[in-house]
Amino acid sequence: MTTVQSEDLTGNGVQAQVGNIRAENLTLVLGPEGSSSATLITRIVNGNQDESDRLIGVQIAGIPAYVTGDAVEFLPGASIGFGFESDLWINSYDFRAASSTYVPVALQFERSGIARADVLVVPPLGYYDGIEPVPPAA
């Protein structure tokens, strides 16, 4: 048995880590039809038991994304969800990628640095039905 995750692109739910910060199950959900938006869903975990960290910026396909509250603090040991069953959102309002493609995402943390991953784009159907940007426009 192994506990090492492959670096290969295997579908939705990719992970990214920088320092003690781990972003889990990163997936980009396209916004409502006709919009040029997408929502990044993820759960971010601060594995550091001594120091907090802050998410201070996100880029999706090289374009700055909207983060609820502009910066989100992760206390030691915190686990915070974005975009799904959460009050926190990471949205792109200038999104131009097709479903089933991979898009580069960079999450900038104040202490830990930048976590990077190529994230799968999915349509807002099935499991992802109802996930859309909040607020709906920039």
pLDDT in tens, 6-63: 454 445 689 999 999 999 999 999 999 889 999 999 999 999 989 999 999 999 999 9
What confidence score (pLDDT) does residue 3 get? 45
* pTM for the structure as a whole: 0.89
**Residues of the chain above pLDDT 70, percent:** 91
Nearest CA among 119, 86, 116, 87 for reference residue 102: 119
Tell me the one-letter amino acid at 3: T
Domains observed in the chain: 14-123 (2.60.40.1890)
User: b or e along 49-61 (b: 16 or more beta carbons within 10 Å of the residue's beta carbon)?
Assistant: eeeebbbebbbbb
pLDDT of the residue at 1: 45
